[in-house]
């Protein structure tokens, strides 16, 4: 079994569980049969592009999140994924995210200034 297939299967299971979905529910949302979802999670499924795309849409995740493990995404891979997800937000939710990030950055900068002084 190749490493990318295991990564896809492991990531699929993790993201599915985080979404609170059963394999059957995901199969319905992605318009795949249950056996296919089970095989993909086990690293045994034929994961053509159309199937991967259907899973990404059903889970509302990014392709990077589903296809790569943390070491492949690099040091700030988790931040890239968060920002991709933030781009999907609209209106007040998006504005709130920006405000929280700005506040955390300002808090960090203030701590750094206090250390210097």
Residue-wise pLDDT tens for the chain (117 aa)? Answer: 444 555 889 999 999 999 999 999 999 999 999 999 999 999 886 788 889 999 999 998 888 888 877 777 667 777 777 787 888 889 999 999 999 999 999 999 999 888 887
Number of domains in the chain: 2
* 82 shares a domain with 63: no
- DSSP letters, 89-104, are --HHHHHHHHHHHHHH
First-to-last alpha carbon distance for the chain, in angstroms, is: 56
* 89 shares a domain with 40: no
Question: Range of 85's domain?
Answer: 75-117
* 26 shares a domain with 5: yes
φ/ψ of 68, rounded to 5, equals -115, 150
* 98 shares a domain with 61: no
* 69 shares a domain with 113: no
Residue 63: the pLDDT is: 84
* 69 shares a domain with 59: yes
Q: How far is CA 111 from the centre of its chain?
A: 31
* 54 shares a domain with 20: yes
* 4 shares a domain with 51: yes
CATH code, domain with 41: 1.10.260.40
Q: Do residues 55 and 21 make contact, with C-beta atoms less than 8 angstroms apart?
A: no
* 63 shares a domain with 14: yes
> What tokens were used for 14?
């993790």
* 64 shares a domain with 93: no
Other Cβ atoms within 10 Å of 78 Cβ, number? 12
H or E element: which one contains 29?
Answer: helix 23-30
* 18 shares a domain with 46: yes
């Amino acid at each position: 079994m190749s490493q990318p297939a295991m990564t896809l299967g492991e990531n699929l299971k993790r993201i599915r569980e985080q979404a609170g979905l059963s394999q059957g529910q995901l199969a319905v949302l992605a318009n795949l049969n249950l056996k296919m979802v089970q095989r993909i999670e086990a690293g045994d499924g034929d994961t053509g592009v159309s199937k991967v795309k259907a899973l990404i849409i059903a889970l509302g995740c990014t392709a990077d999140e589903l296809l790569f493990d943390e070491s492949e995404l690099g040091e700030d891979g988790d931040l890239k994924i968060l920002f991709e997800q933030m781009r999907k937000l609209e209106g007040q939710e998006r504005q709130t995210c920006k405000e929280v990030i700005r506040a955390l950055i300002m808090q960090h900068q203030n701590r750094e200034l206090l250390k210097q002084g």
